[in-house]
Amino acid sequence: MRFDAITLFPEMFDAVLDYGISRRALDRGLYRFKSWNPRDFTDDPHRTVDDRPYGGGPGMLMLAEPLDRALNAVQQDLASENLTPWVVHFSPRGRPLTQQRVMELKQMSALVLLCGRYEGIDERLLQRRVDEEISLGDFVLSGGELPALALMDALIRQLPGALNDAESAVQDSFSHGLLDCPHYTRPEVWQGMAVPEVLKGGNHAAIAKWRHEESVRLTAALRPDLLDQARQQKD
Ligand code: 9D3
């Protein structure tokens, strides 16, 4: 899989992708990543990437032209490999990201991650160039970079070979629309709190049953909306 981020802050991507599973997956050649700075696609001495909104109001907007040129450069780069990217714009007005959408997007061979800063991007650039808008949720961030990194992280761990066996097993028992059950490691008693007896008995059927019941209990208590969703998917 190939990722191309259009961003005023390329260093944010390096800082995250340099660690953990995403770094290992890059070393294993499971994905490729390039960042593109719209500032490199300006032609004035100040390398201007923003301007004031028509109609007035606070804040600045990202200019269409540098972003258009950056997108053209990405497209040209990908065309040499016969790749046509799917262009995602990260925006508070986008559809909130879900694991279901992550699983669909992992079929894409090339994703362009368009990251806005300031108050956003000139609407005409979005109309012309964007395939899909994604939000991370209903809270306010300072730009699209962290949401883009969140999507990349979610996708990279789905790439075949990204996880080791132990990590994959954990993940399998996780993605059934329920919250994960509680986990315990040593010591057997910590600050007077004991590990549940069933987990020490070695009865694997009883352990599986306990874990499932705990998942249902936690989901009902903490995220009843997830239980409703799971029911709706059944009918
Ligand atoms: C004043 C109205 N604001 C819209 C809710 C303006 C505004 C706030 C934050 C415009 C851009 C931003 C920057 N945020 C993102 O680029 C962003 C974002 C987010 O803030 N929350 C959740 N998901 C995302 S994806 C991109």
Which of 2, 235, 16, 33 is CA-nearest to residue 145?
16
Pairing, β 2-6 against β 193-194: unpaired
Q: 141-168 b/e with 16+ CB inside 10 Å = b?
A: eebbbebbbbbbebbbbebeebbeeeee
Q: What is the pTM of this model?
A: 0.96
65 is catalytic: no
Mutate to test the pocket of ligand 1, among 140, 145, 149, 151 (most ligand atoms within 8 A of CB): 140
User: Dihedral of CA 205/165/151/19: which sign?
Assistant: positive
The answer on pLDDT for 141 being more than 70 is yes
SS3 8: coil
Contact 7, 37 (CB under 8 A): yes
Rounded distance between C-alpha atoms, residue 61 and residue 50, angstroms: 5
Q: Which domains does the chain have, with CATH numbers?
A: 2-156 (3.40.1280.10), 171-234 (1.10.1270.20)
pLDDT of the residue at 174: 53
The answer on pLDDT for 172 being more than 60 is no
pLDDT of the residue at 170: 64
Give per-residue pLDDT as tens, 174-228: 568 999 999 999 999 999 999 999 999 999 999 999 999 999 999 999 999 999 9
- pLDDT band at 229; cut points 50, 70, 90: confident
Contact 220, 227 (CB under 8 A): yes
201 contacts: CB under 8 Å, gap ≥ 6: 207
Cα 141 to ligand 1 centroid, rounded to whole Å: 5
Cα 53 to ligand 1 centroid, rounded to whole Å: 16
Q: For atom 2 of ligand 1, which residue has the closest CA?
A: 119
Pick the range with the lowest mean pLDDT from 11-25, 89-103, 142-156, 218-232. 218-232
Give per-residue pLDDT as tens, 78-110: 999 999 999 999 999 999 999 999 999 999 999
SS3 62: strand
Rounded distance between C-alpha atoms, residue 189 and residue 184, angstroms: 10
The answer on pLDDT for 173 being more than 60 is no
40 is catalytic: no
Q: For atom 14 of ligand 1, which residue has the closest CA?
A: 143
